[in-house]
A and B are shown apart, each in its own frame.
Chain A
Amino acid sequence: MKVSRLLIVAALTASCSHEATSDRSDYKANEPAPAVSTTGEATTPTPAPPSAEIRAAKLATTPIADEAKASAVNPNAAVIQDFKTRVDAYMKLRKEAVKGAPPLKETKDPAKIKAAQDAMQTQIRAANVNAKHGDVFTPEIIATFRRLLYPELKGDDGHDARAIIKDDAPTNVPFKVNAKYPEGAPVPTVPANLLVNLPTLPEPLQFRIIEKHLILVDEDADVIVDYALNIIK
């Protein structure tokens, strides 16, 4: 885990999280603003890196939004904000689409759960029938995501991440917008170091990485919202 990752995550969260405010007036006025290059590497001198455990602990436990307040410069912010806007548009469409559908709620009858999921899937796909590749993942967003992920795919962590992506990887996932995620296919584990470098998604959206490609999935409905090819170099 790199210090730069903390800065990137903090900035991403500030710009994408629903809880984070876009009002930057509450940033700590006296906090130095680290410059972040487009490759995600901090360009200002940084203190000696803490141990791996401390870094991980900080990443796992520090309120990221608070850290974001310390970051006054984020060249990716506009692109991430654009991503958030596109995700929000899907969520709005989704909310309208599932009105009237049986709720996906806890029951001992799996047939009812399956029926609710199928209905939700059908209604979302019908409402999103005109969706096309690139509605969410624009070329600019893909380029930014590549830059964010690239440092994490190097070294030991990168080796581990690539191994996880290959682990039980599904082979029959269609790279098609508004398609069903194949039933019974394994859910690829998203390497944690990659996930923390991507924007936080609202439930029930999730990122999944299939081979070198990133897909955005509506997990409740098992619908592929969009995909980004060759996100991993």
Chain B
Amino acid sequence: MKKLFLSIVGLYIIFLHAFSQSSQAADSATYTSKPLKLDEINLVSSYYSQTGNHSAVTGGIGNERVTDLANGLSLTFVGWDGQGQKHSIVAGLGIDHHTAASQAFVSKSGASKTGGSRVYPSIDWTVENAAKGYSFGAGAYYSGEYNYHSFGFDLNYAKKTNNNGEFSVKANAFLDKVTLIYPSELVPGSTVTDNGGGDVTYTTASGRTVSLSGGGGHERNIPTSPRTTVSGTFSFAQVINKRLQGSISFDVVGQSGYLGLPFHRVYFTSGTDAVESLPSSRFKLPVGLRLNYFLGDNVILRSYYRYYIDDWGIKSQTASLEVPVKITPFFSVAPFYRYYTQTASTYFAPYGKHLETETYYTSNYAYAALNSGYFGFNVRIAPPKGIFYSSFSAMEIRYGHYTQTTDLLSNVVSFEFKFK
């Protein structure tokens, strides 16, 4: 009896082993690696036009006319490894060109240039394991313009739950350098300096120092000051029922370094002016909620709410609603409205209201108490076989009109073209 029992157990173990070997052979045959291949091209272009009369360059008064043409191209490459994991690499390049009327008054005479360009490449890599329900990734970013340079990095991880939910976390850091271009009358140091031995240094209105010695000359760089931003983003998304899903997201953001802009003026009650002075640290905590509901067969309600607080005294609330109406399954028109309200920063006061005894002061109206309204519409065209039966797979056009109670108003029109 004992021998029979042991024989049966032995046969059972051999039976299991045979299956485990055959399943391993099947697993390795299921996943074949595929090299990275171009999967999608996205082009987003926007034209922004703004008017206002509270320019920070001139101390909270003056022309705020701005135009900005922004273009961003991204290429998405997708491949698979031998473990069945999907690898995505998104390479992006953005180029913006702006004109700002107030920029002319960095020089007291209004002779400074009014335009500038910014270039910002980026790369992101993501690995997704659909079977186990997780993904992780990393990214790098650079932004360069005449008065500001930034290097950014991020790491992210996401995990699905058993009941149609997903947690995600992201850590982000920006290491920036602010070029210290001061208003012409506030450039530190003397205009011309005789250093002796035939060496003469002079400082231009923009703050550039030029040194001449021995008949030749070399230009020293305008000094810079660092700014560091570190943030953590935590999100949870959940399917609630067949028509409703929502998410909650919050960021914890810490900044340190030079957090103002060196060409922003402040005028005191005495009539004298100075460069704005802001604390060298800032802590921000925004919390956002999204809820999307599919109403009937043709209408979607996309809602968003955000509460924001920081240690500069600003508290704000944002609420928006967008209502895509599907004219056909592949053509939709979505009117939207966004409302925003904020309290003033502790350090803000209008033109001529700051006291010289204050430690921190700004007249940048982005920090004033204000309400804003933004309304417009979004049109989306995405036929299943592509526009004109080509690889031009989708197009979106978006227009918005923005007004603030500070008398700033703007219009923006954007296009997105997707190719697959």
A and B part of one assembly: no
Chain A residues with CB under 8 Å of chain B are none
Chain B residues with CB under 8 Å of chain A are none
